[in-house]
Amino acid sequence: MTVPGYSICAADGLGRSLRLWRSLRRVKQAHAAELLRVSQAMVSRWEAGTLVPDAEEQGRLRRLMSARLDSAADHALARLVTDSSGSAHLVCDLTHRLLAASRGRSRDWNFRTPELLGVSLWRFATPEIQAAEAALTDEGWFEPEPPAVEIATSANGSPIVPIRQGRMRWTRLQLSDGAFVRLAETIA
């Protein structure tokens, strides 16, 4: 079961993200458990990848660890994406909420980009994007130095956020607070 608007995320990937999030913020498992309204043992099992959070728990985890552009460096990254002439956008890696979109991407979309800021783009994902998302753990996406992932996708037919048939590259970047974002670029 998944939370509407969110992608499927492997338990070990979500657990690894939680472990890193806690480490960067110096949050103990007991405090994370309190914030998430679960036991410390459950947090430990998630981080070890031995227990899959249910849909409600996944939603709480994503809300807790979602990316926010808080620092000057984070805002500079968003400006670099926004000012880019290529087709690219930046989303929270866990929630797929749009954080920034390039001029080229804004031209691709029939919806004004500012109206999409903070909105999860997951509902527009093609079957190929969904399959690539499900395979991220196997690709090393949740490792300390993840490789970029390139995928081929079909068109989605959306009038709001159209995805055209072609290739794209995902790059995982870390914000100043330890949260992760995904740069999604169209490959010419």
> Residues 131-183: pLDDT tens digits?
999 999 889 898 888 999 999 999 999 988 999 999 999 999 988 887 889 99
User: Does 6 have pLDDT greater than 50?
Assistant: no
Question: Distance between CA atoms of 99 and 42, rounded to whole angstroms?
Answer: 31
pTM value surpassing 0.85: no
Ramachandran region, residue 36 (left: φ > 0; alpha: ψ -120 to 50; beta: rest): alpha
User: Does 88 have pLDDT greater than 80?
Assistant: yes
Q: What is the pLDDT of residue 125?
A: 95
> Concatenated DSSP letters for 4-33?
TT-----HHHHHHHHHHHHHHHT--HHHHH
User: Does 10 have pLDDT greater than 80?
Assistant: no
User: Does 61 have pLDDT greater than 70?
Assistant: yes
User: Does 18 have pLDDT greater than 60?
Assistant: yes
For the chain, give the percent of residues with pLDDT over 70. Answer: 93
Phi and psi for 123 in degrees, rounded to 5? -65, -15
Average of per-residue pLDDT values in the chain: 86
Q: What is the pLDDT of residue 28?
A: 94
Could you tell me the two tokens for 3?
């939370």
Q: What is the pLDDT of residue 17?
A: 79
